Structure 1
Amino acid sequence: MFPAKGLFAALPCPDRPACRRPACLFSHASDAKDPLALNIPVHAPKEAPVAPAPLQHKATASVPAKRPISSAAGPSTPGSAPGSVSEPPRKLQRTGPSKRPVAVPTATHTSTGCPLIRVPPAQSKVAIPVRQIMLQQLFQHYAVLYENILAQNPTLASEHALRQEEEVYSKSSKFTYRNAIITSIATLKNRRKPDNASHASVGTEGDLARRAEERKKLNALRLTAEQLKPYVMSLDQLRQWGYIVEIPPSEGGSRPSEEGSVKTCERCSTAFKVKRREDASMDECIYHWGKAFSTKVNGEKRRLFTCCSRPADSEGCERGPHVFYESSPEDLHVRHPFSYTRGSRPPDDAPSEETSQEADGEADSALDVVALDCEMVYTTGGMRVARVSVVDATGKEVFDGLVKMDDGVDVIDYNTRFSGITAEAHSAALLPLTAIRRSLDALVSSKTVIIGHALENDLRTLRMVHHQCVDTVVLFPHPAGPPYRRALRALAKEHLGQTIQQGGGTVGHSSVEDSVATLDLVRWHVLNRPPPAKPAASAPPTNKL
């Protein structure tokens, strides 16, 4: 046994009345006090006296046992007692989402043109300095790839570099991110340098993969006349949109040229005497080749020209010869006669036995579906066709030829900015329009479905009367409705992801490229949208280009 230390000798025994221990550790004295029953006084805070208390030499401060809980410790619910707390302080509450937000960068550009990532570091799974270095590498390689087109598209390299980095970041972890960027850079080095913005090498890896898949679907779709029946315009629609559905009653081809006559200039609206190109240089026309559009400058609505951004009432920015344009079917028929396509007949006219046999005998040589586009020039006989391009239902070029002017008709302006035709190129034209029409008869019959954009203008300049027409102007209407029309360039960019008509002031458009674009737009519509409903009769739009 251990010796007793007497540590409990001062404490009263809890079993003092009935304790039977022979040697109790506790005290059995009558004056022993329980230390747990001590009376510790607690003074409540005193109210501040109205009059100042007299100065004392010694002051004893009374401290409360606990501080009272004030209402400032946290917001209380309405109707609760003053000082009560129903929720924890604001700084202790969870205020943000439980998941980490996606690190979507907003970019500015440095002096070199490289985008600068602006992402909160806590939201990015890869360190921001690492991402910025990788983005700079992507930008430098895109700049090298696009060196031939950066002059026309100065921000293209930075935009695609930023999007490429986002694509890699979204598909990678912090461990695979760097290697994925290096792989993307290696892929960029193997691309061919594009010479225009619609080249197949332009875009991110996602853009190229998406375009390849869409192109594969478009190319796999071979349109047929039966498939395009819901898209073919009715006779009423053809008339509403300015198509010529029957041969005008005037004498065809009786006056091919207006040389020496006084006409109103299409460009500057002044009267002028029609002259040949070599004689027209004395009468100079000052005009705007662009279109006027509305915009706001310093809060003020103004009309400016797309060609030079000058006000609508300013002097023209281009100089050239006076030209004229005709839209009346009778006037056009007088310059060069209209004719029906092979096997056609006048509207509401029953087919004769001879016509039916001719159509049946020659139907095998005609194509089921074609896309057609023409380029026009200004002549002494008004606007005339100078180039015709036709592609089949697969987009393969089947006809592309220059048109020689009729006898007595001379070119005033080749309109190269839009037609892409120069005097040197047009000098190689050998066949006049009559011979071109005979060549087209081998490809186009009355049953052939012709696809085009603003096709009535092409058929007018070809002097062709045809009733099986599909027009992308009608399939993709302008939001403001007729007579407004969406440009083929804008439709190709929006729905096909292609940039066309980028030739500029010396090259102009390509009728083959435009034909393929209209065909692809119709194929896109067939794949992605329901067939158009036949609209009710409405006011006809303008026929002017």
Structure 2
Amino acid sequence: MFSSLGLFDALPCPDAPACPRPACLFTHRPGVLEHLVPIPVDVPTDVPPQPSPPSASPAPLVPAKRPVPHPSRPRTIPEAGPSEPPAKLQRIGPPKRPVAAPTATLSTNGTPVLRVSAAHSQVAIPVRQAMLKSLYDHFVVLYEKILPSNPTLASEHALQQEEEVYKKSTKLTYRNAVISSIASLKRRPFPDSPSHPSVGSEGEVAARAEARKKLEALRLTVAQLEPHVLSLEEMRKWGYIVEIPPGPGGERPTELGAVKTCERCVQPYMVKKPDDADECVFHWGRLFSSKASGEKRRLYTCCSRSADSEGCERGKHVFYDSTPEDLHLRHPFTFTRAPSSSNASASSRLDTALDIVALDCEMVYTTGGFRVARVSVVDSMGKEVFDELVRMDDGVEVIDFNTRFSGITAESYEAAVLPLAAVRKSLDTLINAHTIIIGHALENDLKTLRMIHHRCVDTVMLFPHNAGPPYRRALRVLVKEHLGQTIQSGGGSVGHSSVEDSVATLDLVRWHVLNRPRPQAKPQEGSAGRQ
């Protein structure tokens, strides 16, 4: 017999206490046998009960194991790729530089104050603020002539310049980059108008110069503009006068003594000479919609007052003729002249008319309504070829020079020599029935010139308003948006310049030809002009 290895000594004997084995492999110790389930056996009833051993200490508590998944529902664990890190540790794309887009408020002395999160700026905010103040001081010196009419221009451009420098420099190069920008500001010529080439941040000036080179290099041709020439139907839709109104023209040039409705205050009044004209209280701005605290209001652009408020300016009562018949009574309409005939004499065969011109007029209020007081024309390259003040017809007197918009004053008007009839004859040397005339809301200029012309390109139609006709986008807004220039910002004492507006309109058409798809040519409609 082999000796026992004692592997079952800790297990109670399943047959105890009636185990028949003389050398049992299991234990028969009393403390272990108590854990056995009692098996009923025939025990003599006369056997006295055995005393129970002292109770052993309780077994230590063992934590329960996690539940084992059901065999029919195997646990699935997603496996990551061999080289793919966990999703939260993955880096998507190159590391991005902290964004620190600045906003600004003005301090008491006019210097813009940066509003930038310090956590997002690689350059210390006090350093950036100091550099911004230096830029602002130099812009103030540069804009000395134009700041009175544009007080926020220096702060706006200083903020833009600082942002441009910050975006293209590092923490180590930022200060030197600002110093270089200040040095370039000192080399700029002093601007005399907001549309001057030296007005703007460094990026704006460079972008504008590049765009200007492209525009100036483009010489407009008749073939390029032909698809944009308005048809007679389009001209009628936009208020152009395409035929001479019935009746004799020029029979009633003035309305002295007549009762008219004031264009400004919409009140009836009697037309009088300038010295005797009644005073009018009015708003010179237009109404626009504004919403505040959930309430929609109609306010004036001139003073931000409500539509039912008293006027913010005082002047004279004026009237405006709108019907072709009334306009024809003041001064007669005529067609632009026909081209010189090829069978004419050699001396008159050469036609001096240009193929393309851009035209703009400035108007004043008179006893004969709204009349032209200045006419400006530039050729297809933007060169000024005609700029004249217009003297009023006999019996017509100026009531209001409308300087805020026309730029004409009583002093400058004293230089006017040619009446409208003579100005039209002078324009005949530049414009005939085949000339393409470019303008913005050109029908107003042609009406006040009493000119009927059928070959027109209008930037109102090239750049339509989102709301559709009759709404129109302002010329200054289009020039700012597409050319990056500021025009018509001289203020109430300076007004507009018809030469500046003519060049701006021409440049808008150039921009459109360069950047917009070319439309299909329109079929010719009717005659180009009539005698």
Instruction: Decide: shared fold, TM above 0.5.
Output: yes
Shift of 1:130: 4.2
Q: Does 1:200 align with 2:197?
A: yes
Shift of 1:369: 0.6
Residue in structure 2 matched with residue 275 of structure 1 by the alignment? 272
1:514 counterpart SS class: helix
Q: 2-side partners of 1:373 and 1:216: how far apart?
A: 24
Distance 1:125 1:527, change over 3 A: same
Match of 2:330 among 335, 355, 358: 335
Q: Is the CA contact (8 Å cut-off) linking 1:343 and 1:359 kept in structure 2?
A: no
Give matches, 1:496-511, under 5 Å: 496-511=483-498
Q: Is the CA contact (8 Å cut-off) linking 1:363 and 1:445 kept in structure 2?
A: no
Q: 1-side partners of 2:91 and 2:142: how far apart?
A: 43
- Range with greater deviation from structure 2 (522-531 or 97-106): 97-106
Q: Is the CA contact (8 Å cut-off) linking 1:225 and 1:449 kept in structure 2?
A: yes
Distance 1:125 1:271, change over 3 A: closer
Match of 1:250 among 243, 247, 250: 247
1:303 counterpart SS class: strand
Q: 2-side partners of 1:230 and 1:125: how far apart?
A: 53
Shift of 1:173: 3.9
Residue in structure 1 matched with residue 290 of structure 2 by the alignment? 295
Give the counterpart letter for 1:186 in structure 2: A
Q: Is the CA contact (8 Å cut-off) linking 1:343 and 1:356 kept in structure 2?
A: no
1:367 counterpart SS class: coil
Distance 1:310 1:69, change over 3 A: farther
Q: Is the CA contact (8 Å cut-off) linking 1:103 and 1:119 kept in structure 2?
A: no
Residue in structure 1 matched with residue 400 of structure 2 by the alignment? 413
Shift of 1:253: 1.1
Q: Does 1:116 align with 2:114?
A: yes
Deviations 1:75-103 (CA, angstroms, capped at 9, x unpaired)? xxxx998xx9999xxx9953876743323
Residue in structure 1 matched with residue 53 of structure 2 by the alignment? none
Give the counterpart letter for 2:518 in structure 1: P
Deviations 1:509-534 (CA, angstroms, capped at 9, x unpaired)? 11111111100000010001123568
Residue in structure 1 matched with residue 374 of structure 2 by the alignment? 387
Q: 2-side partners of 1:131 and 1:151: how far apart?
A: 27
Give the counterpart letter for 2:411 in structure 1: E
* RMSD (CA atoms): 3.2
Q: 2-side partners of 1:427 and 1:223: how far apart?
A: 36
Match of 1:312 among 307, 314, 330: 307
Q: Is the CA contact (8 Å cut-off) linking 2:100 and 2:121 kept in structure 1?
A: no
Residue in structure 1 matched with residue 316 of structure 2 by the alignment? 321
Q: Is the CA contact (8 Å cut-off) linking 2:226 and 2:521 kept in structure 1?
A: no
Shift of 1:210: 0.6
- Range with greater deviation from structure 2 (198-207 or 522-531): 198-207
Give matches, 1:79-228, under 5 Å: 93-94=88-89, 99-107=94-102, 108-109=104-105, 111=107, 112=109, 113-116=111-114, 118-121=116-119, 124-228=121-225
Q: Does 1:521 align with 2:508?
A: yes
Q: Is the CA contact (8 Å cut-off) linking 2:362 and 2:375 kept in structure 1?
A: yes
- Range with greater deviation from structure 2 (217-226 or 93-102): 93-102
Residue in structure 2 matched with residue 488 of structure 1 by the alignment? 475
Q: 2-side partners of 1:203 and 1:196: how far apart?
A: 12
Q: Is the CA contact (8 Å cut-off) linking 1:337 and 1:463 kept in structure 2?
A: yes
Q: 2-side partners of 1:533 and 1:427: how far apart?
A: 48
Q: 1-side partners of 2:274 and 2:65: how far apart?
A: 99
Q: Is the CA contact (8 Å cut-off) linking 1:343 and 1:358 kept in structure 2?
A: no
Q: 2-side partners of 1:441 and 1:134: how far apart?
A: 57
Answer with 1 or 2: which has the greater Rg: 2
Q: 1-side partners of 2:148 and 2:180: how far apart?
A: 28
Q: Is the CA contact (8 Å cut-off) linking 2:358 and 2:506 kept in structure 1?
A: yes
Q: Is the CA contact (8 Å cut-off) linking 1:372 and 1:390 kept in structure 2?
A: yes
Match of 1:402 among 379, 389, 403: 389
Deviations 1:170-226 (CA, angstroms, capped at 9, x unpaired)? 333444333222211111111223333222112121111110010001011111222
Give the counterpart letter for 1:512 in structure 2: V
Q: Is the CA contact (8 Å cut-off) linking 1:475 and 1:532 kept in structure 2?
A: no
Identical amino acids, percent of aligned pairs:
64
Q: 2-side partners of 1:69 and 1:312: how far apart?
A: 81
Q: 1-side partners of 2:377 and 2:146: how far apart?
A: 29
Q: 2-side partners of 1:480 and 1:110: how far apart?
A: 36
1:435 counterpart SS class: helix
1:508 counterpart SS class: coil
Distance 1:413 1:70, change over 3 A: farther
Match of 1:235 among 232, 235, 238: 232
Deviations 1:218-240 (CA, angstroms, capped at 9, x unpaired)? 01111122221011111111111
Q: 2-side partners of 1:151 and 1:104: how far apart?
A: 35
Q: Does 1:373 align with 2:360?
A: yes
Shift of 1:61: 13
Give the counterpart letter for 2:182 in structure 1: I
Shift of 1:286: 1.3
Q: 1-side partners of 2:65 and 2:157: how far apart?
A: 60
Q: Is the CA contact (8 Å cut-off) linking 2:249 and 2:328 kept in structure 1?
A: yes
Q: 1-side partners of 2:410 and 2:228: how far apart?
A: 38
Q: Does 1:472 align with 2:459?
A: yes
Shift of 1:486: 0.8
Shift of 1:264: 1.3
- Structure 2: which 5+ runs fail to align? 1-56, 68-72, 81-85, 524-531
Give the counterpart letter for 2:322 in structure 1: S
Shift of 1:426: 0.9
Match of 1:261 among 258, 262, 267: 258
Q: 1-side partners of 2:98 and 2:345: how far apart?
A: 66
Give the counterpart letter for 1:194 in structure 2: P
Shift of 1:293: 0.7
Q: Does 1:458 align with 2:445?
A: yes
Q: Is the CA contact (8 Å cut-off) linking 1:110 and 1:116 kept in structure 2?
A: no
Q: Is the CA contact (8 Å cut-off) linking 2:342 and 2:349 kept in structure 1?
A: no
Shift of 1:60: 13
Q: Does 1:440 align with 2:427?
A: yes
- Range with greater deviation from structure 2 (100-109 or 480-489): 100-109
How many residues of Structure 1 are paired with residues of Structure 2 in the alignment?
453
